[in-house]
Structure 1
Amino acid sequence: MKRLLISLALLLVAAASLSAEDKTVPNFKFYGFVRNYFTFDTRVSTAGTEDFYYWMPKDVKMVNGADINDVCSFRFAAITTRLGVDISGYEFSGYKIGGKIEADFYAGLTGVTGTAQLRLRQAFATVAKDGRSWKIGQAWHPMAADLPDIFSLESGAPFGPFSRTPLVQFDWKFADALSLTTAAIWQMQYTSTGPEGASANYIKYGCTPELYLGLNYKKDKTTLRLGADLLSIMPRQVNNVKMRKDNVFRLDADRITTWNVFLYGASSIGKMDLKAKLTYANDGSHFNLIGGYGVKAIDDTYGYWTYAATRNATGWATLSYKGLGRWVPSMLLGYSKLFGTPVDVLGNKNDDGTYIYRWVKNSADVVDYLFRVQPEVIYNLGKLQFGLEYMLTGANYGKPDARMHAVDGLHLVLNHRVQMLVKLNF
C-alpha cells in the first residue's frame, strides 16, 4: 500500500509539472466564402470539374466537314464555396502547436453534371519552436504554394505547379531573411500519369516519397524562392523473379526518376504588386503541368522497361494595382514550351491509333507551346466581391515525333473565356 501511495504521489507531481508547462489558450478562427463563377467559352476545352479549372482549348476535330470542338458553352455554379478553421494558441514547453482544416464542394460531378460533395482541401498540424517548424498533413505542395494574383480557379496552371497533397515539411529560419524548406511528399488527388491513367499507384509501388529542398528569402516587401524536387515512381507493378535470381540490379529498371526546379519572386512597389514564377519540369503531370513519359527500351533478357520523360519550361507573371479604391485590376501572362523527351521512345500503337508505350496528361505530346493573356478587375464592396476577367489561351498543336514532341502540321488553336465572379467572404 505504501508503494502504491508513493507511486500515486509521483504521478500527481509529474502531472502538475506537465500542467505547468502546458500554456494552452486555444483559438479557433473560422473562415470561408461563398463563391459563384459564371463562365463562357468559345471552344470545347480541356478543363476540370464544371469546366471551371481551365487548361487549354482542344484541337481541331473534323467530322463531316465541320470542327465539332468549335462550339460555345456556358455554365455557372457555387461548388467552389469554401469552409475552414485555423487552430492556434496551444503551447507546450515552448513549442507552439496549431493546425488547419479546410474543405470545399468541388467534387461529386462528372463534367458539369451531378451533385456537389464536400472535399478535403487541407488538413495539417504544425509544431514550431526557435525558428524551426514542422507541418504534417495535407497542404500545398511547396512548389505550388506561391500563387498569382488572379481569381480564376486554376490559379495560373498549367503555367505553374498546382497541387495540395500529403506531406511532412520542415522549415528552418537560419538567418534574419533566409530559411530552408525540406519535405517528403506523397500523392493523392493530384497524381502522376501512366499505364493506368492518372493514379497514385505509381508512387505507392515505388515506395519512395517525392523529396523537396528549397531556399527562401523574405525581407520587407520582397520574397524570393528557389526550390527543386525529385520524384521516383514505378509505372508497372512487376515482380521480376529472373532479375533477383541472377542478382541483377538496375536503378532504372521499371522505374522513372524525374526532377523539377522553380524560381519565384514577388515584390510590392507602392500600390503595385508584382509576382513571377519560372518552372523547368520533367513530366510534372503530378502537379498539373503539361507532361508525360514513354518507354525508351524493353530489355531483351529480363523484360524490364526503361523510361524517358517529356520536358517543359513554363512560367507566369502577374501585375496588380491597389491604388484605385474599391477597384483592383490585375493581369496575368503565361507561356509554356514543351521539348519532348531527350531520346526516342517506342512508337507502337493500338488499333485505335493510341500509343501503347506513351502516357501524357493534357495532350502533352501533341502541343508545341501554350500561352495565356488574362486581364481582370475586381470590385470590393465590403465582404462582397465582384470580378470580371477575359482569358485568351492558345495551344500550338501538331503531330508528335519519336520524342513525343509536336513538330509536324503545327497550327494554333484559341479559346476566348469570359468569366464573372460573385464572392461573399466571411
Structure 2
Amino acid sequence: MQRYLFLFIGLFILATSYAQKKNFTYKFYGQVRGDLFYNSRANTETVDGLFHLYPKDHVYDPNGKDLNSTPNGSFYVLYTRLGLDITGPKLGNAETTLKIEVDFRGSGSTYGLIRIRQAYINLDWGKSDVTIGQTWHPLFGNVSPQILNLNTGAPFQPFNRSPLLRYRYKNKGWETSVAAIWQLQYLSAGPNGKSEEYIKNSCIPEIYAGIDYKTSKWLVGAGIEILSLKPRIQNTIENKIYKVSERITTFSPEVHFKYTGNDWLIAGKTLLASNLTQCSMLGGYGVSSIVPQTGEQEYTPFRNSDSWLNIVYGKKWKPGIFLGYMKNLGTTREIVGPTYGVGVDVAQLITANAELTYNLLHWKAGLEYSCSTAYYGTMDKTSGKISDTHAITNHRILGVIIYFF
C-alpha cells in the first residue's frame, strides 16, 4: 500500500509539473565578458575600477607628491551574466512574461557572488502594460549610449536598476509611462552615507512620468523625476535625543532623442539633475537652516546640468564617439551646515570617448580610449557654486571581449 501511495504521489507531482510547464516557454540568454583596463590616475569608481565615474582631486603627501597620481589597471569577468525570459499563460486578456537576470558583481566589496540585475513580471494588454519588480530605472529609459565602458555614460547618463511599479500606454507611436520606484542596490546619499533608510523613512516612493514618440527611425521624448527623502528622523544634542521631521523633495526634468537608420546610431539626453546620487550621478544637498534647540535641519539641493551625445556608425566594424558634459549650477539657498552627496566640489566634468568594435553574430571585441577632466575648486556656500578651479584629467584605455548566447 505504501509503495502505491508513493507511486501516486510521484505521478501526481509529474502530472502537475507537466500541466504547469506546458503553457510556459523558456529562453536562456547571457554573455561571458572580460574587461581589461588602464587608468592614468585614481578615480571615483565602483567594482574596483570597472565602473569608472571621474578622476579624483590632488591629495599631496608631506613631500608635495600627489597620492592620487598613481596609474592602475586590472582584468575582470564580473559582468558575465545569465538571464531567463519566460512566457506564461494569459491572465485574463493579458499576456504574461517574466524576466530573471543575474551577474557576478556581488555587492559592496564582496565580488564574485551572484547579484540580481533584473527580476520582474509584465502584464501586457496590447496598448497598455504593467511591470512589477526590479528593472532599469525610467531615467535610464529607452535612450542610452552604445559604448564599451560599463558605466554606460554615467555620471552624465542615469544608471540605476530598482524595484518599481510601472504603467505604460502606447497608441499610434506615442507612449506614456508612470512609475513608482524604490531603492535597493542603487542608493541616495545622506548623513549616514549611501543608504536605503532615507527613502524608507520617507514612505513616499520616487515618481517618474514620461512621454515618448516613436517612428521607424526616430525616438524623442521627455520626462520628470520626483524624489522625496527624509535624511534624519532623530538628532542628539548633549546626550539628549530629539525627534525631528526633515524632508528634502527634488525635481529632475529630462529630454532625450535617438536616431537609428542607415547603419547610424545618433542619441543624446540632457537633464536638470537634482539630487540623483542614486542614479550614479554627481550631486546631493546641503544644510540650509538649523533649529538650535533640537538640531532639526532644512536642506537645499545641488542642481547639475548633465548632457551627453553618442554617435556610432557601421555593422561589423563600428567606430563611435561619446561626449559628456556636467555643470554644477549650485543651490537655491545658502549652505550653513554640512553637505551630503557625490562630487559636490566639482564645478564641471567633461568626458570624451573614442572606440572601435568588431561585431559578429555572437561576438564583440573592442578598444576604447576615454579622456575625463574634472574641475575642482572652492565652494561659495552662499550659492553652492564652485570657483577658483583647477583641472584633473584621467586617461583610460579599455579592452573588451564578449561572447553572447
Same fold, TM-score > 0.5, yes or no = yes
Which digits, 9 at most, give the CA deviation of each residue in 1:137-192, with x for residues without a partner? Answer: 0011101123211121000000021100010000011x301121001110111111
Q: Which one of 174, 184, 187 corresponds to residue 180 of structure 2?
A: 184
* Aligned residue in 1 for 2:219: 223
1:278 maps onto 2:270 in alignment: yes
* Alpha-carbon contact 1:346-1:358 (below 8 Å) kept: no
User: 1:25 Cα deviation (Å)?
Assistant: 3.4
Asked if residue 47 in structure 1 is aligned to residue 45 in structure 2, the reply is yes
**Aligned 8 A contact 1:398 1:406 in 2:** no
The corresponding residue for 1:98 is 97
The 5 A counterparts of 1:18-417 are 25-63=23-61, 64-107=63-106, 110=109, 115-145=111-141, 146-173=143-170, 175-238=171-234, 253-300=245-292, 303-323=295-315, 326-347=316-337, 357-361=338-342, 363-364=343-344, 366-403=345-382, 405=384, 407-417=386-396
Q: 2:332–2:383: 8 Å Cα contact kept in structure 1?
A: no
Cα distance between partner residues in 1 of 2:286 and 2:153: 27
**Separation in 2, partners of 1:228, 1:30:** 34
How far residue 118 of structure 1 moved from its aligned partner, in angstroms, is 0.6
**406-415 or 97-106: bigger deviation:** 406-415
Q: Distance in 1 between matches of 2:57 and 2:314?
A: 38
- Tell me the TM-score normalised to structure 1 length: 0.85
Runs of 4 or more consecutive aligned structure 1 residues displaced over 2 Å after TM superposition: 22-25, 299-304, 403-409
Seen in structure 2, the aligned counterparts of structure 1 residues 412 and 329 have a Cα distance that, compared at 3 Å, is same
Deviation at residue 418 of structure 1 after TM alignment: 0.3
Between the aligned partners of 1:320 and 1:131, the Cα distance in structure 2 is 32
What SS does the aligned partner of 2:152 have? Answer: coil
Conserved in 2, the CA contact under 8 Å of 1:314 and 1:337?
yes
CA–CA distance in structure 2, aligned partners of residues 130 and 320 of structure 1: 32
SS in 1 for 2:309: strand
In the TM superposition, what is the alpha-carbon distance from 1:299 to its structure 2 partner?
A: 2.7
1:403 deviates by 4.5
SS of aligned partner of 1:202: helix
What amino acid sits opposite 2:323 in the alignment? L
Task: Identify unmatched segments of 5+ residues in structure 2.
Answer: 1-18, 237-243
Query: Which one-letter code corresponds to 2:371 in the other structure?
Result: L
Q: Distance in 1 between matches of 2:198 and 2:219?
A: 35
Q: What secondary structure is seen at the aligned counterpart in 1 of 2:234?
A: coil
What's the TM-score, normalizing by structure 2?
0.89
Residue 45 and residue 239 in structure 1: after superposition, are their counterparts in 2 closer, same or farther (change >3 A)? closer
Instruction: Give distance in 1, aligned partners of 2:188 and 2:312.
Output: 33
The residue aligned with 2:239 is none
Classify 1:32/1:358 alpha carbon distance in 2 versus 1 (closer, same or farther; 3 Å). same
Alignment of 1:6-25 (within 5 A): 25=23
Q: CA–CA distance in 2 between the matches of 1:23 and 1:86?
A: 14
1:338/1:408 CA distance change after superposition, 3 Å: closer
Alignment length (residue pairs): 378
State the distance in 2 between where 1:194 and 1:108 align: 19
Shift of 1:47: 0.7
> Which whole-Å CA distance do the structure 2 matches of 1:155 and 1:335 have between them?
14
Per mean C-alpha deviation after superposition, the further-off stretch among 231-240 and 308-317 is 231-240
Rounded to whole Å, the distance in 1 between the matches of 2:90 and 2:77 is 38
Provide the residue aligned with 1:9 in structure 2: none
Residues 361-419 of structure 1 show CA distances to partners (whole Å, capped at 9, x for unaligned) of: 2x22x110001110111112441221100000000011212157453431011000000
**What is the rounded CA distance, in whole Å, between the counterparts of 1:305 and 1:318 in structure 2?**
41
Give the counterpart letter for 1:153 in structure 2: L
Aligned CA-pair RMSD: 2.1
The answer (yes or no) to whether the contact 1:267–1:275 under 8 Å persists in 2 is yes
C-alpha deviations, 1:43-77, integer Å up to 9, x for none? 11111112110110110111111111111111001
* AA partner of residue 312 (structure 1): N
- The verdict on how the C-alpha distance between 1:32 and 1:404 changes in structure 2, with shifts beyond 3 A counting, is farther
For 2:100, give the aligned amino acid.
Answer: I
Question: Structure 2: how far apart are the matches of 1:208 and 1:418?
Answer: 42
The Cα of 1:109 is off from its aligned counterpart by 6.5
